[in-house]
Amino acid sequence: MQIKDLCTNCNFWTITTIENDGKIATFKCTHCENSFQMPWDPNTRLMIRSIRHSLKKRTKKYPELVNLKYHGDFIKLEKKSDTTPKPGQCK
């Protein structure tokens, strides 16, 4: 399985692969090859769903995330303001 996620090691958004054997899930960044393991249980599956759900919202703010398609792709996002100026308002 693959998800788009922020790697805490290299601090890039990238494709993360997830492999599980029914007991342990191994998450691996396809950019820096950093990996970590977690128990494979309902909480882990819920966390993966949550990442995917939040990514949909994040993609609206950062459309660059759509470009993450292939193993090893990575991107550094620049922080964008959450507020947009109203007409006639100074920036």
Per-residue pLDDT of the chain (91 residues; tens, 9 = 90+): 999 999 999 999 999 999 999 999 999 999 999 999 999 999 999 999 999 999 988 999 999 999 999 999 999 988 766 555 556 655 5
- What is the distance between the alpha carbons of residues 62 and 75, in angstroms, rounded to a whole number? 11
Minimal CA–CA distance to 7: which of 29, 33, 35? 29
Structure tokens at 16: 């993360």
Question: Does the pTM exceed 0.85?
Answer: no
Domain residue extents for the chain:
2-75
Q: Residue 49 is inside which H or E element, if any?
A: helix 42-61
